[in-house]
Structure 1
Amino acid sequence: MRVITGTARGRRLKELPGMETRPTTDKVKESIFNIVQFDVEGRRVLDLFGGTGQLGIEALSRGAERCTFVDLRKEAAAVIRENVKTCGFEAQARVIQGDSMAFLTSCREKFDLVFLDPPYASGLLDKALEAISKIDIMSENGIIVCESAAEQVLPALSAPYEKGREYRYGKIKVTLYRRTV
């Protein structure tokens, strides 16, 4: 697993051992960043279910202003910190080892771009989307990028959030939401 492009291009990222974490495939990661390529530079990013941190690190490599990574597992937070350091992004990254829903309910900042890639079939994706729209942590025109199993039906959110396009990559689906105004 490597950073695709930007200032950290080609850097190899450490992965978590075992099957508990399912890293985003390079094909899907590249597709996600092709979709949001004009919405990354200078933006504030949240990688809510960080895992290895690869989505947030890719955003930082492409010019994001800063990224907050959240993961419940101690090992995941340690790997994210190591990967951030490997890529030289310590000054722009904040790594929180804690519950994602607790983070959202206590969050007092706005984000321009949010990555949601929780364990499939955990129910966390729907809960996170509901919490984000209720607490309203997105900036104007902010984008939420969700990765899920292809068969999962994601909910519509109340205004000012709009569900956008869905992209399918085999058994994986990427769904975009945008905060209008």
Structure 2
Amino acid sequence: MSRNRSSAGRGPGTKASGAMGSGQVRIIGGQWRSRKLPIKDLEGLRPTTDRVRETLFNWIAADLPHARVLDCFGGSGALALEALSRYASFAKVFELQREAANQLKANLQTLKCDCAEVVNGDTLALLAAGAAEGFDIVFIDPPFRKGLADATLIALKDHGWLNEDALVYLETESELVSMPLPQGFTELKHKTAGQVCYRLLQFTPGEQA
């Protein structure tokens, strides 16, 4: 993750927060439970904490098996790896920083996982190119205070990335707890933890937020 425009930096930029020691991330459930994988020591890299990930994956547990998953701001890949560990059928990950993208590719090879694709590039530009096939579950955990949350939701909707009734996980700074949602998105759940607000949305085309 990085702090550039639509980079895959997460949260307020605390390095490796929630990881098992410096430079590692731990998968907390599924077939790779307790596996620890290396992550690059890059500015702004902050995997979603174990506590938040546990809540998120409890929320979506019934929907994960066989789901197509998109992680818009991959960074360490913690969310995509957790989804694949819990039997998502496929994961696509966008990551701006080449080093982080290459490390995630290496970690997927370590896990002998061939049902994921890591794309090194700018998230909003990649979304604007459109999707050949929609996704069932989408993770959005962008750099904070860069206006990326709303822009990403709109790009996902406008360019065909979301299947009907897709679930969208959105992690933002806590002051955006009351942010208005674009048309088509409905909030199902939300919580706050320190500086972070995280919520689960559902996308239904044609419905008002």
TM-score range, shorter chain: over 0.9
User: Counterpart in 2 of 1:143?
Assistant: 167
Higher RCO structure, 1 or 2 (CA under 8 Å, sep 6+): 2
Read off the aligned partner of 1:21 and give its amino acid letter. Answer: L
User: Counterpart in 2 of 1:40?
Assistant: 64
CA distance in 2, matches of 1:126, 1:16: 28
The TM-score with structure 2 as length reference comes to 0.81
Question: Could you say what the CA RMSD is over the residues aligned between the two structures, in angstroms?
Answer: 1.4
Read off the aligned partner of 2:117 and give its amino acid letter. Answer: R
Structure 2 unaligned segments of length 5 or more: list them: 1-24
Structure 1's 36 and 5: CA in aligned 2 closer, same or farther, altered over 3 A?
Answer: same
User: Counterpart in 2 of 1:6?
Assistant: 30
The TM-score with structure 1 as length reference comes to 0.93
CA distance in 2, matches of 1:112, 1:36: 11
**Structure 1 vs Structure 2: percent identity of aligned residues?**
35
Q: How does 1:7-86 map to 2 (within 5 A)?
A: 7-86=31-110
Higher helix share: 1
Q: What secondary structure does 2:26 align onto?
A: coil
Q: 1:157, 1:163 within 8 Å by CA — same for their partners in 2? A: no
Q: What secondary structure does 2:153 align onto?
A: helix
Q: 1:21, 1:119 within 8 Å by CA — same for their partners in 2? A: no
Q: 2:144, 2:173 within 8 Å by CA — same for their partners in 1? A: yes
Question: Which one of 77, 92, 106 corresponds to residue 129 of structure 2?
Answer: 106
How many residues matched?
A: 179
Task: Please report how far the alpha carbon of residue 36 of structure 1 lies from its aligned counterpart in structure 2 after TM superposition.
Answer: 0.8
Superposed CA deviations along residues 78-136 of structure 1, whole A, max 9, x for unmatched, are 111122122221x1010100110111111322000000111111222221011112223
Structure 1 unaligned segments of length 5 or more: list them: none
User: Counterpart in 2 of 1:97?
Assistant: 120
